[in-house]
Amino acid sequence: MAAFDHVRNMYDVALKPRLLRSLIKEHIPDEKQQLRNPLELSHVVSAIKTHELLSERVVPSADNKKLIEKWKSAVDLWVDRLLMLVCSNMPDKCWAGICLLGMTCEECSSERFLASYSVWFQKLLSHLQPPAESHFVKAACCVSISDLLTRLGGFPNMKKDGASHAAKLLQPVLKLMHEDSSDAEGAVPLLCTILNFFPSSVQKNYDSAEAAIVTKLMSGKCNANMLKKLALCLSLLPKSRGDEDSWSLMMQKILLAINLLLNDSLQGLEEETTTNEAMRALVPPGKEPPPPLGGLTILDISNKATRPERLFMPSISALMLCCSTMLRTSYPVQIKVPVRSLLMLAGRVLMVDGSLPHTLYPIMTAMQQECICTELPVQHSYSLEILCGIVKEARSQLFPHAAHIVRLVTEYFRRCALPELRIKVYALIKLMLMSMGVGITMYLAEDVVSNASVDLDSVGHHGGEACSNPVLKTSEAVPQPMQKKRKHDMTITSFGNQPQTSSLHKNHTPISVKIAALEALETLLTVGGALRSERWRSNVDVLLITVSTDACKGGWTKQANNVYTLHDSSSSWADFQLASLRALLASLLSPGRIRPPYLAQGLELFHRGMQETGTKVAEFCAHALLTLEVLIHPRALPLIDIASSIDYPVNGVKDSFMDNNTYSGAQKHHLYSGGTSRNGLEYPESEEDDLYEKWVKDVDGSNAPEIQQEKNTVEKTSTPAEPLVSFEGPSGSKVPEEKGKGILVEEINKQSDIPSQTADHHASDMETEMTAAKDASGGDLETATGRSFVTVVGSEGGKEFMFALGVDDKLMDEIPDIVDVEPDSDED
Amino acid sequence: MEDEVVIASSSTEAGIGCWDLRSGAEHLRYRSCASPSHGLVSVAGRFLASSQLRDSSSSSGSVLCWSWNKPQIEVKSFPAEAINPLACNSDGTYIVGGGVSGDIYLWEVATGRLLKKWHGHYRAVTCLVFSDDQSLLISGAEDGSVRVWSLLMIFDEERQQRAGHLYEYSFSEHALPVTDIVTGYGGCNAIIISASQDRTCKVWSLARGTLLRNIVFPSMIDAIALDPGEHVFYAGGRDGKIYIAELNAQGTSNNNYGLHIIGTLSDQGKGICSLAFALDGSQLVAGSEDGMVRVWDTKTHNIIRVFRHAKGPVNNVLVIRQPPALYPRTSANNQASVARRHVPLPPPLEKYTSIDEHSDLNAFITPQPNCDKLYDATYTTFHSMNNQINELQQHGSSGASELEMERLKLDCKRSMQMVEQWKKMYENLHQFCVGELLNGEADDANLTLTS
């Protein structure tokens, strides 16, 4: 009869008790059977999880009563069988029982859990006290108890009970921690769970727990994962006392220990004054130093006799990790973060680069130096993490210290040469920009831009292309005569303050660093793209369009099938493309002094990207197009009128030209890049302010409705011009015309304000360019020339007009650049 | 939707009124407060602070603080001079006050320490506002200037010396005292609107530091409020009208009020002293000279509610989220339980700075209100079990092999026992057989013998 007693479907509740019974029968061994393949257990567990076989969740009703009974008895059977396994003297069966019991704690109904958790707890505890033989059993036991406590912690009215249970665990757990590392691996997370859910149970054993954790931390025998867990454990420890002071005390102890160790190990690498200053800040004269960390006296910590010297540096790293973890952990009470001491520590470590002072007789062997240099990157990394933690937690309270941090970070950034650390610095800068707002962009912008420019420099080399970056440093000789131009242009835009880093990073910056640089630029543009950005903004815009064009040139990488690279967190080319597009969007959206000059190219990139359906790039491109739509079709008239002054025409032409004729254009466009970006910088202000004055005057009602009229017409004709220009496809007639104009404008620029030492160079090169262009464009050039000259005259007129209005002399200096605008706005 | 409360104070001694915006019910009235314009702030929703109008005889000013659940003054501070406007950043870490001498004071809330004091204006400061990302401070003064300060710069002496001046921008286009300043969204792209007794409001660009628009009103403007969508702003005039001025359209001058002014909200009341927007962005709360607080619906241009506050002018109105302490204690909800935990107010604000280069500036990290609930209950058995199963499958690890060995040992032991048993049985059988055999032979012999 039972053979044909079908259930309705796979959702039928009646299926669950039956399924559970058959699982028990087939896979869970009883007293006599052996545990067969352990793989079977994982099938059992996943079946239980998917079908919620232990939940006993049935809608109570009259006809369900029998079913409830049935299910209850099935779960009873399950639990009985598990308890039998847990008590089994066969280690493998015992292990299976412990694991399954832990899973049961998570899966079973609340009523059942509350009714029987203390029995289960006792059973599990019996394997820790006295400890079982097998490591597997001990590890599984720790995990299962941890799950049991986690579940128990979810019931707010069970806190007291839970705490008394957890207190029983402490001795065995601390004992396990003293044993070799594979045992501690299970014990440490368990201690974390206890501290998270039942902190008060540790109160009595506070000192011994601290000692156990610190000893383990400083032993130098833990792997990175274990260190993190230990640090977390230590940072959770102050919770058990639950007052403000214990956190501060712990922090002070750790800082003191670190600085003591640093005093010893950095001896000879830093100034004596630094050492003294650091110690004085921690323990102000006349105050009692705190008790030593973990009961280890200073002698214990830095005793060269008992502790080999090479252990110093890893210990310092471990303790620094504790600092940053303590900043990140949340506490139920208000905590007082000693910002100054932490900053001092971070600064102290970051400023050491392993170089010996020249003047002194070396007091350290090469071996010692080697040992320190090996560990320094780790400590730098943790220092940066501490800084991140401070910035993240203290937020607005950091203003009194912000200048100090900025100086520290920029100074370090200048020297930092390891990819991993640079990524961290970029992340820190990103965090600072986000949390401290507009004010800090004025401090950081220049450094971010110069560093990012250097890091993004070598992008073009990925596809085997010549680099087309305008901020390229060309310190070495360039074979082609054409590229001498570029050299000149570079010197105008480049940031001359760090030739060393540029040569260091030349051409093989890892992708992950580039991504970090792009992200930092994106954040910079998002937060402060418009405020006091004249000096760097146009450079960044050029850089970003170049980088993203280059990144997307070779098509889109498919998302790698990451079955094999699951643990590999390294960044892929696809991530780089995405990051470059994100930064490009920020550059287009962040309002500058002028309309975004590369809107057309950007739109084209996003359009192409959107067609790669199913990738992250496509998702982002769709989002980008949606946001840009508002820019193209503004919903309301903007208060700030940027439409009337379109800039970067030469750049626009250049880049479209490059897109269309990559075979020959790549070199030519170097001609213009530097000069134009500088133009973009200076020019708009002049016309812009002029317009403001006019507008404001107009609004005041003092005169001239015609001027208003004039402004309107300018605006109307020029607003749609940019987005409508199509750069797609190499059009036969248009491109040469543009080229001609570009050169012409360039030449006018050069005549007006190129530094004299390079002018000759240019004149000759320019001439060859001109003739080449003439050959290519023929008659079109004539018309272009004519038109440009007309506009130059027009701008002269404008100058006079501005005089009439009484514009500052300062503005007048920049007038010659005004010619830039005309070719493009005329064009349509 | 979250409940909001309207908070109002007056220049006459009428205390601080506090009403539920939705129901109109009045909460506590906090006693003895006579505030100057812009002198009332809610410090991150934790407590109320207000500077006080004082008779000219006393040399020091005073700033009073109330906690939400007590009508009495809880903390009194006496700064070095009378303070007009007060402002507080959104985290509630700093309180900034503008003195009658033109000095600006910056206190740390947690310790009450006077972190900075600098000379901001030539005449008394009238309003102080933080920019939306809290990194800039905008101040207006009786000398008609509007200045933008970067908090970073304020603390960075090195940079100050290089720059030569402290402020980022100084706008001096207003001819008469500045009466109100508001700033909008957008970080560095935000706009600043300032109102002045010269009957104009001026719109400034923060990014460029330029004047974007100048709007002339028929009356003096004492209060402005910016629509959250920033398409218009509201300017309350001394003539009792609230003018609506547009920001995003070309001006048309064919109406009665002037260029850019597109309408008014008016009920023939007395002059408007203060304006504030509710969080929903459509209800505008206006404090008036006649002591009333009116709530307008900006969509329908109707008055929805009127609160009666005092006889004198209501020169401060704020609309804030209802602080947890104001929820009735009887309700069993979570917010009430948080409120019961009494949070003591911070110490009073210092009169003179006690900061020197050795004093330790700490940062205070306040706990999240529901910190206990933040741990994700992460269960690890499943994961660790699978890991161990993997190890067992590979037979590689010491743990696995040890387990295997234990099992084998026991297996071996059992087999030994089995062997013993078999041996015994064999022994028995053997004996039996031998016995049988011997007996059988004997029987045979007997048989043969007998036969």
* A251-265, A490-504, A783-797, B327-341 — most confident range: A251-265
Same structural domain, B337 and B444: no
- How much is the pLDDT for A649? 38
When CB atoms are compared, the residue of B247, B362, B389 closest to A41 is B389
A339 at B interface, C-beta within 8 A? yes
* Residue whose C-alpha is closest to residue A244's, from B312, B18, B297, B365: B365
Q: Does A699 sit within 8 Å of B251, measured CB to CB?
A: yes
**Residue B229: closest CA among chain A residues belongs to which residue?**
A636
CA A342 to chain CA mean position, Å: 22
Residue B178 has phi, psi (to 5 degrees) of -80, 135
Q: Measured between beta carbons, which residues in chain B are less than 8 angstroms from residue A338?
A: 360, 362
Per-window interface: A 62-91 vs B, CB < 8 A: 89-91
Range with lowest mean pLDDT among A102-106, A663-667, A695-699, B19-23: A663-667
> Using CB atoms within 10 A of its CB, is residue B400 exposed (0-12), middle (13-18) or buried (19+)?
buried
Q: Measured between beta carbons, which residues in chain B are less than 8 angstroms from residue A700?
A: 214, 216
pLDDT tens by residue, A715-732: 444 444 344 333 444 444
Q: Does B188 sit within 8 Å of A529, measured CB to CB?
A: yes
Q: Measured between beta carbons, which residues in chain A are less than 8 angstroms from residue B229?
A: none
- Degrees (nearest 5) of the Cα angle B146, B147, B153? 170
When CB atoms are compared, the residue of A284, A340, A443 closest to B361 is A340
Beta-carbon contacts of residue B8 (< 8 Å; ≥ 6 apart): B16, B17, B18, B274, B287, B293, B307, B309, B314, B316, B317, B318
Q: Does B381 sit within 8 Å of A103, measured CB to CB?
A: yes
CA–CA min distance B357, chain A (Å): 11
Q: Which residue has the tokens 């700064």?
A: B79
| CA distance linking residue A588 with residue A148, whole number of Å | 53
- pLDDT over 80 (residue A818): no
pLDDT tens by residue, A674-689: 333 333 333 434 444 4
The number of beta carbons lying within 10 Å of the beta carbon of residue A554 is 13
When CB atoms are compared, the residue of B152, B188, B358 closest to A403 is B152
CA B36 to chain CA mean position, Å: 24
Same structural domain, B435 and B345: no
CA–CA min distance A756, chain B (Å): 31
A-to-B residue pairs, Cβ atoms closer than 8 angstroms: 240
- pLDDT over 60 (residue A814): no
Q: Measured between beta carbons, which residues in chain A are less than 8 angstroms from residue B191?
A: 639
- How much is the pLDDT for A585? 94
Q: Does A399 sit within 8 Å of B380, measured CB to CB?
A: no
* Residue whose C-alpha is closest to residue A605's, from A538, A648, A639, A554: A554
| CA distance linking residue B36 with residue B84, whole number of Å | 6
Q: Does B380 sit within 8 Å of A143, measured CB to CB?
A: yes
DSSP secondary structure string, B80-101?
A: SS-EEEEEE-TTS-EEEEEETT
| CA distance linking residue A99 with residue B390, whole number of Å | 14
**Which residue among B343, B370, B397 closes a domain?**
B370
- How much is the pLDDT for A560? 54
ipTM of the complex: 0.84
- Which has more pLDDT, A276 or B423? B423
Q: Measured between beta carbons, which residues in chain A are less than 8 angstroms from residue B151?
A: 399, 439
Domains: count for chain B: 2
CATH of the domain at B217: 2.130.10.10
Q: Does B89 sit within 8 Å of A396, measured CB to CB?
A: yes
Q: List, in sequence order, the alpha helices (H) in B177-263.
A: none
| CA distance linking residue A425 with residue A444, whole number of Å | 12
Q: Which residue has the tokens 């379109």?
A: A646
Find residue B292's DSSP bridge partners: B308
A204 at B interface, C-beta within 8 A? no
**Residue A280: closest CA among chain B residues belongs to which residue?**
B358
Residue range of the domain that includes B314: 4-353+361-370
- How much is the pLDDT for A443? 86
For residues A773-787, average pLDDT = 44
Q: Does A442 sit within 8 Å of B375, measured CB to CB?
A: no
Same structural domain, B366 and B386: no
Top residue of A335, A698, A699 to mutate, by most chain B CBs within 10 Å, is A699
**Residue B375 lies inside a defined structural domain of this protein:** no
Same structural domain, B349 and B391: no
When CB atoms are compared, the residue of B131, B214, B381 closest to A143 is B381
pLDDT tens by residue, A383-401: 999 999 999 888 888 888 8
Beta-carbon contacts of residue B406 (< 8 Å; ≥ 6 apart): A90, A91, A92, A133, A134
Residue B193 has phi, psi (to 5 degrees) of -115, 130
A471, A458 Cβ separation under 8 angstroms: no
Give the largest Cα separation in chain B, rounded.
156
Q: Measured between beta carbons, which residues in chain A are less than 8 angstroms from residue B386?
A: 42
| CA distance linking residue A451 with residue A376, whole number of Å | 22
A465 at B interface, C-beta within 8 A? no
Half-sphere CA count of A644, side-chain side, radius 13 A? 23
Q: Measured between beta carbons, which residues in chain B are less than 8 angstroms from residue A408?
A: none
Report which residue type is found at A503.
S
Report the SS3 class of residue B66: strand
Half-sphere CA count of B222, side-chain side, radius 13 A? 23
Beta-carbon contacts of residue B333 (< 8 Å; ≥ 6 apart): B327
Same structural domain, B146 and B202: yes
**Residue B90: closest CA among chain A residues belongs to which residue?**
A396
> Using CB atoms within 10 A of its CB, is residue B19 exposed (0-12), middle (13-18) or buried (19+)?
buried
Same structural domain, B339 and B220: yes
Top residue of B132, B375, B381, B415 to mutate, by most chain A CBs within 10 Å, is B381
Q: Does A106 sit within 8 Å of B367, measured CB to CB?
A: no
Q: Which residue has the tokens 């007082």?
A: A336
CA–CA min distance A181, chain B (Å): 13
- pLDDT over 50 (residue A618): yes
When CB atoms are compared, the residue of A38, A151, A397 closest to B364 is A397
User: Which H or E element spans position A825?
Assistant: helix A821-827
pLDDT tens by residue, A413-466: 998 989 999 999 999 999 999 988 888 888 889 899 999 998 987 544 443 333
- How much is the pLDDT for A216? 86
- Kindly indicate the confidence band of residue A141, based on its pLDDT and cuts at 50, 70 and 90: very high
- How much is the pLDDT for A570? 55
For residues A469-477, average pLDDT = 37
CA A37 to chain CA mean position, Å: 44
CA–CA min distance B442, chain A (Å): 47
Beta-carbon contacts of residue A94 (< 8 Å; ≥ 6 apart): A85, A86, A87, A88, A127, A132, A137
Find residue A592's DSSP bridge partners: none
- How much is the pLDDT for A254? 92
Helix%, strand%, coil% for chain B, nearest 5: 20, 35, 45
- Which has more pLDDT, A488 or B391? B391
Same structural domain, B42 and B123: yes
Compute and round to an integer the Cα radius of gyration of chain B. Answer: 40
- pLDDT over 80 (residue A700): no
Q: What is the dihedral of CA A480, A484, A486, A487, to 10 degrees?
A: 120
| CA distance linking residue B359 with residue B363, whole number of Å | 13
Same structural domain, B314 and B442: no
The number of beta carbons lying within 10 Å of the beta carbon of residue A81 is 18
Q: Does B206 sit within 8 Å of A639, measured CB to CB?
A: no
Domain regions of chain A by residue span: 1-154, 243-415, 417-560+568-633, 679-828
Report the SS3 class of residue A672: helix
| CA distance linking residue A192 with residue A208, whole number of Å | 15
Q: Measured between beta carbons, which residues in chain B are less than 8 angstroms from residue A715?
A: none
Per-window interface: A 5-34 vs B, CB < 8 A: none
Per-window interface: A 671-690 vs B, CB < 8 A: 689
When CB atoms are compared, the residue of A90, A336, A402 closest to B362 is A336
- How much is the pLDDT for A314? 83
- How much is the pLDDT for A501? 38
Residue B30 is classified by DSSP as B
Q: Does B249 sit within 8 Å of A636, measured CB to CB?
A: yes
Q: Does A182 sit within 8 Å of B367, measured CB to CB?
A: no
CA–CA min distance B187, chain A (Å): 6
Assigned token pair, A33: 């059977």
- pLDDT over 90 (residue A516): yes
* A292-296, A364-368, A459-463, B380-384 — most confident range: B380-384
Assigned token pair, A239: 């919770």
Q: List, in sequence order, the alpha helices (H) in A339-455.
A: 339-350, 366-394, 399-415, 419-436, 438-455
Number of residues assigned to chain A: 828
CA–CA min distance B163, chain A (Å): 12
The number of beta carbons lying within 10 Å of the beta carbon of residue B448 is 8
When CB atoms are compared, the residue of B135, B212, B384 closest to A437 is B135
Q: Which residue has the tokens 């070719």?
A: A823
Q: List, in sequence order, the alpha helices (H) in A645-669.
A: 649-660, 662-668
For residues A504-533, average pLDDT = 83
Residue A131: is the preceding peptide bond cis (ω within 30°)? Answer: no
Q: Does B366 sit within 8 Å of A42, measured CB to CB?
A: no
How confident is chain B (451 residues) per 10-residue block, as mean pLDDT?
86 88 88 90 90 75 88 89 92 91 92 90 94 91 94 86 86 93 88 93 89 90 91 91 85 70 84 91 91 91 89 90 75 47 77 73 72 65 84 70 83 92 93 88 70 58
Q: Does B384 sit within 8 Å of A143, measured CB to CB?
A: yes
* Residue whose C-alpha is closest to residue A90's, from A23, A33, A142, A27: A33
- How much is the pLDDT for A469? 39
Burial string for A185-214 (b: 16+ CB within 10 Å, else e) reads: bbbbbbbbbbbbbbbbbbeebeeebbbbbb
**Residue A634: closest CA among chain B residues belongs to which residue?**
B248
- How much is the pLDDT for B170? 93
A170, A213 Cβ separation under 8 angstroms: no
Q: Measured between beta carbons, which residues in chain B are less than 8 angstroms from residue A590?
A: 189
Look at strands B272-277 and B283-288 and give their pairing.
Answer: antiparallel
* Residue whose C-alpha is closest to residue B154's, from B80, B94, B78, B100: B94
Q: Measured between beta carbons, which residues in chain A are less than 8 angstroms from residue B251?
A: 699
- Degrees (nearest 5) of the Cα angle A48, A51, A53? 55
Q: Measured between beta carbons, which residues in chain A are less than 8 angstroms from residue B188?
A: 438, 441, 527-531
- How much is the pLDDT for A34? 81
When CB atoms are compared, the residue of A90, A92, A639 closest to B191 is A639
A102, A143 Cβ separation under 8 angstroms: yes
Q: Measured between beta carbons, which residues in chain A are less than 8 angstroms from residue B371?
A: 330-332
The mean of the pLDDT values for chain A is 73
Cα separation of the two ends of chain A = 87
CA–CA min distance B152, chain A (Å): 6
CA–CA min distance A696, chain B (Å): 6
Range with lowest mean pLDDT among A583-587, A639-643, A656-660, A822-826: A656-660
Same structural domain, B311 and B415: no
| CA distance linking residue B451 with residue B449, whole number of Å | 6
